Structure 1
Amino acid sequence: MKNKKYNLQNVMGLGLITAISLFAGCKKSFLDRTAAGTTVATQFWKTSADATAANAAMYADLHSYAELAFPAIAIESMGSDDVTKGSVPTDATFLQEYINFSVTPGEGQLEGFWTGVYNNINFANQILTNVPAINMDATLKARYLAEAQFIRAYDYFRLVRAFGAVPLRLHPPVTASDYNLARTPAAQVYAQIEADLTAAASVLPTTYSSVDIGHVTKGAALALHAKVALYQKKWTDVVTYTNQVTALGVYSLFPNYEKMFRTQNKNNSESIFEIQNELIPNHPEESNSQYSQVQMPRVTEPAGGWGFNNPSPNLIAEFEAGDPRLAATVIYTGQVTAEGDMIDASAPDPYYNYKSYVPFSQYVSGFNQGCQQDFMVLRYADVLLMNAEANNELGSTSTALASLEMVRARAREGNSAILPAVTTTDQATLRNAIYHERRVELGMEFDRHADVIRQGRGAAVFGFLGFKAGKSEVWPIPQNEIDLSAGVLTQNPGY
């Protein structure tokens, strides 16, 4: 495994635009950029171009190492029965501490995730604080502010799921007292997330022209709001927001489950929000996503990756007989992929994540392997399953069954001999069927850990791994952050 280094810093103290690199916007993608140095706050926030540069920097930060590689994998994927650490036994052994819920507050991925996500919140807060004073096109200004509200909401949702109560920062620090905030109760964090998403959805467009594909949309704000409501068991709200996503008329299930995750099908009909990762010719330093690289099969380079975060036998056993999603989720060593790559049978792990896979023919020497692979944050199948779960909890069984059947029908790929329609009208039985469907449909998409915990099943499902009720529902607050705060930040129970 290559050694990826990044600075750990108390990003709660970042208050100047010097945290933001400015990028030119002359290329096709809004993420394609040429570094232009940094600019102090007194020289920035003057023009529409400044606002556009800040917007691009905010999005670009979403594919940082902290937010898509080891820290995110540790916090959002490792603590579940869906995955194994992967790679060779002696490599990155700290990841095993997340799988067996033995992690301590000083473990470095906690700090990496915390600082990485707060850094992105800082980008959003800079925009929300400074862009209103810029004299620019009013419609574009409103859109940039709404995008920043969505990104801030998405970031806080990741934090509150991971740690519970967290400091709620809504503007860059100005005075000394702004630099060291106490934890805000989770309910208040959720309330702010919902306020941001409500405001964003009222402004964001339903679709974009090709030049702006990848920016957040109204559908993204509504879908994330539904997921936030799901975590709070606000079932009526979940139904409302998922129905609103469907009513937009722009999303549909992609017909081929495996092909949905390939690079040639980025931003397809099912995608509601995905983090845009690019391979920018002649700019390997800007093509820096490692989401795919750390998970690709650990085979001979240059094609191979690091081989971490692999499907577990437990996940594989969950799939029903003949379910095509199994072969689209799991790469087996010794197999030839649908794209024609032979996975060396001597690789150290029997299984790898197909959803992060990039065909070897797309690898370019000098670039991170698979750096062009996007990360799907929200997709329409999740919306349908949220709708099914909420309707079942509200007693609307027929509607729940209809939403569930749409997901299973796509998975069948026309084969009526597999995945029979779920017909039960018993609420508890249907609930379990929906939980099962979420697991196999969203497998290896960083959803299982938090999903089981918000369902209240942590001890029952993860107990054999070491999950302890009253403790393992959240991760420990990074010890370094507590130390930097001189005790203003408090630790979660049990750590």
Structure 2
Amino acid sequence: MKKAFYYIPLACAALLGFSSCEKYLDVTSETQKQATQSFKNIADLRGATAFLYCRPWYTTNTSVREITEARAGNLYVDGVTGELITTALFSEVANYNNIANSWASLYLVITQADYIINDYVKTAIENGVNESEAKACEAEARFMRAAAYWYLANLWHDVPIIDDPRNHTLNPLTPPHRFEDVVQYAINDLIFASEYLKDTDTKGRVTKDSARGMLARIYLMAANYAMGNHFSNDYISRNNAGSNSGLADNYFEQVKKLCQQVVEGGYYSMLPDFEQLWRTQNNNNSETLFGIQFIPGITEWGYTSPLNDLAYNRELTGNLNGGGTIFVSYDMLKSFVDDGAVARMRGSVAVPGQNYNYIGTHLSAGSWTVPSGKTKVNLKKFVVGSSKDTDGAAVQGNTGLVSPMLRMSEIYLMYAEAALGKQQQTNDAVALAYFNKVRERAFSKNIQNFVPATTITRDNLFTERRLEFFYETIYWTDLKRRSFYDMDWVLNFLNNKLKDSDAETPFTNYASWAYTYDPLLYPTGKGWTNSPRAQSGYKPQAVLHNLPAGSYVHAVGATSNIWCLPYPSADVTTDPELTSAPINYDFN
């Protein structure tokens, strides 16, 4: 019997048809004018916001994921050329597809959100739609816009704030805005969203607690930026703080308050089994505060998730997709093995010998056991298996899985990090309870090995977040946040220099070094043999941060491939102002 899949119906499909949803973004088309005049009831308006949960994020799901995970040292591919490996070695160039696709996807989210905020909500209210319901739709759009700017700021640092796409079309020569103003802009949107979103809503739609969680994430980034004394005096003054240090303290307190509100609200909770997060039958489960709503059972481009491509082979998916050439890196895999939490490792990576009774149900064995013989380990997270495994959700090119973008476990770990604040360790009772809650779930399949933490250090949190959010775009943003106040540590980690002063450090980054791990073939080496080893032609990564006083990250002569990717070459061609000095945003 097929189960019902929870997802947000893309009402724009009913309103305009799948293909014509694109015309929402065409500022000169007659369709745009007709759409603006069509919002006569709340269903029309919620149809427009439903579109924000899927199509605009389509390439974010793949391109941003690959960029962030490669830069974080979490992925391995054979060879030393190609987009993914050169991204891992910080040698990416401006014409890479992933760079262009990520930029375009995130600004697509912003453009559609802008129309809802500027036009559709106003039109709906004028047409008699209840104002509070219309404001809730505006809050959804502001949530999405803030989330997109969070990614843009993490990837490119200084980026243009586009709050009216029509003006941008008339004058496309737009310089970037300062990183701190992009942060403030996103904060303002999320404050609005946390006030006007609903307490509860249709499964898959964001709520007040979703906005609180996303706001906590941005406050945490801002607190780290303040720890490095980077905010300008006008930003500090605008936020009623006397110094960067005071601003950091304020933000940490806000993070704790927001996370506590989410926990005490009770609407979201962690699933007891980590593996169950990555099954289509559990789409929009209690742990997901925000997810990209890919639609089960369809093949329409833009509404599908192709992440079954990561599968060990095509047999596993019933010949839908698979045989992926992206593997977990040596360093990431070693972190899973050394940590010892079986449930989380099984849900994240496909270790030889592990059996899964819920995928491979179409096979003669009725389940799937990871074969022995590969030298590298495939990813398991986001791989859902065959059509039978998913009750019909997975089809060619589409897993049907909602991609979680903000989970309850992050709420717990953000609270712990905020309790740590500027210290190097904490034994705060609430922070310990939340930290241990996440770790206990990770050990649910070998609970006898779980040892509750009695103290949390910065490195403990860093490792825990890397393990918990592998392939979820998070660890790279953690590295960038840490670079705001501890650049030397991040440079040494990314350039694999920490081991030079501490031979036992768990923070190595061999990037594209090959390895062999197979517990069935090499039990005496605990699964390892001849690992890690440099690939032929390998050149060590050279991660740099050289920002002369008074300069900016994209300036000629500045070198910071930590704080920013190159702007997409096609966009620089059409807007040469992109590479100019960032300007202040006028919040008045």
- TM-score, normalised to structure 1's length? 0.84
Distance 1:142 1:405 in 2: 38
User: Aligned Cα RMSD in Å?
Assistant: 2.8
1:31 aligned onto 2:10:
yes
1:123 aligned onto 2:112:
yes
Distance 1:492 1:400 in 2: 41
The offset of 1:156, in angstroms, is 0.6
Q: How does 1:9-408 map to 2 (within 5 A)?
A: 29-31=8-10, 33-34=13-14, 36=17, 37=20, 40-46=31-37, 47=39, 48=41, 50-64=44-58, 66-69=59-62, 71-85=63-77, 93-131=82-120, 132-134=122-124, 135=127, 136-174=129-167, 178-208=171-201, 212-233=202-223, 234-280=251-297, 283-285=298-300, 288-300=303-315, 302-305=319-322, 307-319=324-336, 320-332=339-351, 335-341=354-360, 342=368, 345=371, 350-360=376-386, 361-362=388-389, 367-393=395-421, 397-398=427-428, 399-408=430-439
- The SS at the match of 1:477 is coil
Alignment CA distance shift 1:157-1:322 (3 Å): closer
CA contact (8 A) 1:73 1:309 kept: no
- The SS at the match of 1:153 is helix
Q: Deviations over 1:342-374 (max 9, x none)?
A: 367489773222220112224769943443011
- The match for 1:468 among 531, 543, 561 is 543
Structure 1 partner of 2:567 = 477
Distance 1:449 1:467 in 2: 16
Structure 1 partner of 2:27 = none
The offset of 1:163, in angstroms, is 0.5
Alignment CA distance shift 1:448-1:467 (3 Å): farther
Structure 2 partner of 1:488 = 577
Distance 2:373 2:304 in 1: 23
Distance 2:7 2:286 in 1: 21
Distance 2:308 2:446 in 1: 34
The offset of 1:220, in angstroms, is 0.9
Distance 1:286 1:408 in 2: 37
The offset of 1:241, in angstroms, is 1.5
Distance 1:410 1:366 in 2: 27
Alignment CA distance shift 1:397-1:52 (3 Å): same
Alignment CA distance shift 1:53-1:252 (3 Å): closer
The offset of 1:199, in angstroms, is 0.3
Distance 1:73 1:306 in 2: 19
Alignment CA distance shift 1:183-1:411 (3 Å): same
CA contact (8 A) 1:405 1:422 kept: yes
The worse-fitting range, judged by mean Cα deviation, of 182-191 and 234-243 is 234-243
- The SS at the match of 1:182 is coil
Distance 1:359 1:263 in 2: 10
Q: How does 1:380-459 map to 2 (within 5 A)?
A: 380-393=408-421, 397-398=427-428, 399-413=430-444, 415-424=446-455, 430-456=457-483, 457-459=489-491
CA contact (8 A) 2:146 2:186 kept: yes
User: Partner amino acid for 1:391?
Assistant: A
Distance 2:302 2:222 in 1: 37
The offset of 1:292, in angstroms, is 1.6
User: Partner amino acid for 1:332?
Assistant: V
Distance 1:467 1:245 in 2: 41
Alignment CA distance shift 1:42-1:351 (3 Å): same
CA contact (8 A) 1:214 1:267 kept: yes
Distance 1:453 1:389 in 2: 15
Structure 2 partner of 1:22 = none
User: Partner amino acid for 1:82?
Assistant: N
User: Partner amino acid for 1:59?
Assistant: Y
Distance 2:324 2:580 in 1: 33
CA contact (8 A) 2:204 2:293 kept: yes
The answer for unaligned runs of 5 or more in structure 1 is 1-26
Distance 1:462 1:394 in 2: 22
CA contact (8 A) 1:458 1:469 kept: no
Alignment CA distance shift 1:243-1:29 (3 Å): closer
Distance 2:398 2:55 in 1: 18
- The SS at the match of 1:154 is helix
Structure 1 partner of 2:521 = none
- The SS at the match of 2:291 is strand
CA contact (8 A) 1:153 1:193 kept: yes
Distance 1:329 1:288 in 2: 24
The offset of 1:122, in angstroms, is 0.5
- The SS at the match of 2:52 is helix
Distance 1:357 1:279 in 2: 14
Alignment CA distance shift 1:68-1:347 (3 Å): farther
**Which has the larger Rg?**
2
Distance 2:68 2:340 in 1: 28
CA contact (8 A) 1:63 1:277 kept: no
CA contact (8 A) 1:298 1:348 kept: no
- TM-score, normalised to structure 2's length? 0.71
Quick one: percent identity of the two aligned structures? 23
The offset of 1:141, in angstroms, is 0.8
Number of residue pairs aligned between Structure 1 and Structure 2: 452
User: Partner amino acid for 2:566?
Assistant: P
Alignment CA distance shift 1:303-1:332 (3 Å): farther
User: Partner amino acid for 1:230?
Assistant: L
Structure 2 partner of 1:6 = none
The worse-fitting range, judged by mean Cα deviation, of 119-128 and 71-80 is 71-80
Distance 2:581 2:356 in 1: 44
CA contact (8 A) 1:362 1:370 kept: no
